[in-house]
Amino acid sequence: MSDTKQPTLKGLAADITKNAAIVSDFLDKTNNHFTFDTDSPPSFPKTASEDVTAARMQLIYAARQLQFLALGPTESLQWFALSGAPDTTTLQWLYHYDIPSAVPNQDSISYADLAKKLNLNQHKMTRILRHAMTNNIFLEPIPGHIAHSSLSKQLAEPGNLIRGPVGNLTQTVYPAVSRMVDAHEKYGTNDEKGVHAPFNVAYDTEKRALEYIANDPVRSVWFTESMKGGAAAGPSSTRYSVEAFDWQSLGNGVVVDVGGSAGHVSKAIAAAAPDLHFIVQDQPAMVGKGQAELEPELKERFTFRPHDFFTTQPYNEPAAFYLRLILHDWPDEDAALILRELAAKMGPETRLLINDAVVPEHGAMHPLQEKYVRNADMVMMSMFNGLEREKSDWEDVIKRADPSLHIVGITKPRGGSLSMIEIRKE
């Protein structure tokens, strides 16, 4: 059925022209235009105003919609069905063989020399890399030679924070997502156990994904780097976690960062609230890494402790228990268990801060943000039988944990994908 709000090709084109001008003017001023060449700036400037950020989001969304309207329904479906798996697979392949590191920084290299250097079949390698080029990953400046594009160059830089998310998502997550039908056929769609997720079918294991990953030396590095990379930029960057709560209001209290990985989020908060102290709890390997990497100037304010959050919480009545991107990894029963252990150690002044997505009703957020959250929801379902929760889901799980817990506020900074749910104990 048609409705008056249906976008049209011309309407979208006009929308794109208007918003492209706003974004382009900003990039002119900051001298930051993206290109496909290696001298392109790597990411959008963080100094963008809210108006520029909104115009950029609308620009990306309208360009996507325009493509659908230009293709029409049948060809749109064809593109979907054909592109999704190869797009991820070629990225997975070139990451696995670390092609980006083998291509020279400034120069090109022939396919023949590259294949010889990496001991790969030249014909297969060339076909895979030419597919990656359809996504602007690598360039072919002269026939038969490959060189870096602005995208592939990011993957060649050893310390670049995008390597973590690309590694984790293509190598560990993608095989799990691709087995969703098999898992639902095997266990049924009502099964909510964390050990019966598509991940368990893909990896033929009865271990929970996070335990399996923590015990795999390569995947655990991708995972930790992925958390760090996701926190460094984009809609779930730590800047929004800092913005979403008045951390300075906790004075010189202690924040217990439950499942805080190697402490990267606490460090961002510490910079904004210089009197606060942090106890970062996680699995032994994660806190070991955090302890080893801790900057000398933070030593007095940071403690790293191994702790399993399904067991008795050792710390009593801190200023806050903080859980960022923890509970979406767990089905309701497990999430309630984690919260119950914390509720038992909350005093009247303790805040329980859950920093996770609160999925609005369908259609209530910008469609591009909704796409991001729905993608994350599919990853949670595939990896852990976890979920991104709506407000009523959060209310249910919090009450299930401990009826004396109640939500006193939910804040979501504009542009960010995560909310801060502030909870107190009665």
Ligand X SMILES: C[S@@+](CC[C@H](N)C(=O)[O-])C[C@H]1O[C@@H](n2cnc3c(N)ncnc32)[C@H](O)[C@@H]1O
From residue 31, alpha-carbon distances to 25, 34, 96 in Å are 10, 10, 34
Nearer to ligand X among residue 283 and residue 350 (C-beta)? 283
Which listed residue (227, 276, 343, 358) binds ligand X by CB under 6 A?
227
324 binds ligand X (CB under 6 A): yes
- Find the shortest distance in angstroms from Cβ 241 to ligand X: 8
Which listed residue (231, 232, 353, 420) binds ligand X by CB under 6 A?
231
Given the residues 328, 362, 366, 406, the one annotated as active site: 328
From residue 34, alpha-carbon distances to 23, 37, 159, 423 in Å are 11, 9, 21, 42
Nearer to ligand X among residue 194 and residue 253 (C-beta)? 194
- Find the shortest distance in angstroms from Cβ 263 to ligand X: 9
Pair 84, 174: CB distance under 8 Å:
no
What span, in angstroms and rounded, lies between the C-alpha atoms of 396 and 403? 10
Which listed residue (194, 229, 259, 386) binds ligand X by CB under 6 A?
259
- Choose one: 79-87, 141-149, 259-267, 339-347; the region binding ligand X (CB under 6 A): 259-267
- Find the shortest distance in angstroms from Cβ 309 to ligand X: 4
What span, in angstroms and rounded, lies between the C-alpha atoms of 16 and 279? 47
Beta bridge pairs of residue 352: 321, 423
What span, in angstroms and rounded, lies between the C-alpha atoms of 163 and 96? 11
Q: Which of residues 191-210 bind ligand X (CB under 6 A)?
A: 210
265 binds ligand X (CB under 6 A): yes
Rounded to 10 degrees, what is the CA torsion of 223, 226, 227, 228? 130
417 binds ligand X (CB under 6 A): no
Triad 162, 164, 165: Cα angle to 5°: 75
Which residue from 269, 256, 266, 267 is spatially nearest to 342, judged by alpha carbons? Answer: 256
What span, in angstroms and rounded, lies between the C-alpha atoms of 151 and 156? 9
- Find the shortest distance in angstroms from Cβ 101 to ligand X: 26
Nearer to ligand X among residue 152 and residue 261 (C-beta)? 261
- Find the shortest distance in angstroms from Cβ 422 to ligand X: 17
Which listed residue (260, 318, 415, 416) binds ligand X by CB under 6 A?
260
- Residue whose C-beta lies closest to ligand X: 259
- Find the shortest distance in angstroms from Cβ 335 to ligand X: 12
240 binds ligand X (CB under 6 A): no
- Choose one: 37-45, 74-82, 109-117, 323-331; the region binding ligand X (CB under 6 A): 323-331
What span, in angstroms and rounded, lies between the C-alpha atoms of 123 and 80? 26
290 binds ligand X (CB under 6 A): no
Q: Which of residues 326-355 bind ligand X (CB under 6 A)?
A: 326, 329
Q: Please state the length of the chain.
A: 426
- Find the shortest distance in angstroms from Cβ 259 to ligand X: 3
What span, in angstroms and rounded, lies between the C-alpha atoms of 66 and 9? 6
Which listed residue (308, 317, 333, 349) binds ligand X by CB under 6 A?
308
3-state secondary structure of 20: helix
Element (H, E) at 222: helix 217-232
| Backbone angles phi and psi of 33, in degrees to 5 | -65, 135
- Find the shortest distance in angstroms from Cβ 37 to ligand X: 32
What span, in angstroms and rounded, lies between the C-alpha atoms of 393 and 56? 31
Whether 96 is catalytic is: no
- Choose one: 15-23, 260-268, 290-298, 358-366; the region binding ligand X (CB under 6 A): 260-268
282 binds ligand X (CB under 6 A): yes
Number of Cα atoms under 13 Å in the Cβ half of residue 213: 24
Size of the site for ligand X (CB under 6 A): 19
177 binds ligand X (CB under 6 A): no
Nearer to ligand X among residue 324 and residue 425 (C-beta)? 324
Q: Which of residues 100-159 bind ligand X (CB under 6 A)?
A: none
280 binds ligand X (CB under 6 A): no
AA identity, residue 2: S
The DSSP secondary structure of 119-179, one letter per residue, reads T--HHHHHHHHHHHHTTTSSB-SSTTEEB--HHHHHHHSTT-TTHHHHHIIIIIIHHHHTT
309 binds ligand X (CB under 6 A): yes
Chain residues binding ligand X by CB under 6 A are: 210, 214, 227, 231, 259-261, 265, 282-283, 286, 307-310, 324-326, 329
Positions marked catalytic: 328
